[in-house]
Amino acid sequence: GNSVTQMEGPVTLSEEAFLTINCTYTATGYPSLFWYVQYPGEGLQLLLKATKADDKGSNKGFEATYRKETTSFHLEKGSVQVSDSAVYFCAGVLGGNQFYFGTGTSLTVIP
Amino acid sequence: KAGVTQTPRYLIKTRGQQVTLSCSPISGHRSVSWYQQTPGQGLQFLFEYFSETQRNKGNFPGRFSGRQFSNSRSEMNVSTLELGDSALYLCASSFDSSSGANVLTFGAGSRLTVL
């Protein structure tokens, strides 16, 4: 069935380290893919999106490329900051009009 | 423009009671979805409403229900509360989620504690 699977956390990095959070999906067709971020005490905010294969979404130094051949949408950032500490969710519109979310990956960046 | 507004932000109930949560979507958004977020289960889809009709439903018992009004505002109700219903309930709106290009915009959530 349709699903989104993302890397388990928690992830702890030092400031300025490189970040990768893996995300893969299972679906038929060509889903739209998203990364959302949730800061403590808040709802989810859209971080970036890609709607077709080979699209690259980017925002605030984060990037993710829609790879149809590997059904992946990994999130990357070259140099994380303490303010990036949050929970990151991969999501996709799979099998029609329903959003599917991954389980979330908690990131803590230490100075 | 105003974002998605959820009320109340925090509430405490006891087992067996019922609760109603409210969500006002972004102006012009016609789709409202509800999610339950818990540390153990992550983000789980409850249901989605579009033009006052439930369009999708997750795998939750009948104690969980919702509705949408003509102005797109939505409410969800949980009856006969159980301890396991303690969670952050998130509402999200979109213009029409049937288009993959539309994104969900989330509210800050209603945190329910059941004692």
Residue-wise pLDDT for A6-48, tens only, equals 988 899 999 999 999 999 999 888 889 999 999 988 899 999 9
CB pairs under 8 A between A and B: 58
Which residues of chain B lie closer than 8 angstroms to A49, CB-CB? 103
Residue A14: count other Cβ atoms within 10 Å of its Cβ. Answer: 10
Q: Which amino acid type is present at position A11?
A: V
More confident residue, B64 or A52: B64
Best CA proximity match to B60, nearest among B42, B78, B74: B78
The residue with greater pLDDT, B57 or A94, is B57
pLDDT of A29 reads: 81
| Element spanning B49, H or E | strand B42-50
What pLDDT does A35 receive?
A: 97
**Contact assignment for B45 to A44 by CB distance below 8 Å:** no
Question: What distance in Å separates residue B76's CA from the closest CA in chain A?
Answer: 17
Query: For A32, which of B56, B92, B101 is closest by C-beta distance?
Result: B101
Both tokens of B109, joined, read 């959530």
CA B60 to CA A83: how far, in whole Å?
Answer: 35
**DSSP letter (8 states) at residue B15:** T
Query: What's the pLDDT tens digit per position in B46-103?
Result: 999 999 999 889 999 999 999 999 999 999 999 999 999 999 999 999 987 565 557 8
The first and second tokens of residue A3, run together, are 């699903």
Provide the residue type at A96 as one letter: G
pLDDT value of position A99: 86
Chain A residues contacting B via beta carbons under 8 Å: 31-32, 34, 36, 41-46, 49, 51, 89, 91, 93, 96-104
Residue A81, classed as helix, strand or coil, is coil
Contact A97 B92 (CB under 8 A): no
Q: What number of other Cβ atoms are within 10 A of residue B1's Cβ?
A: 5
Q: Best residue in A2, A42, A44 to probe B by mutation, most B CBs within 10 Å?
A: A44
> Mean pLDDT for chain A?
93
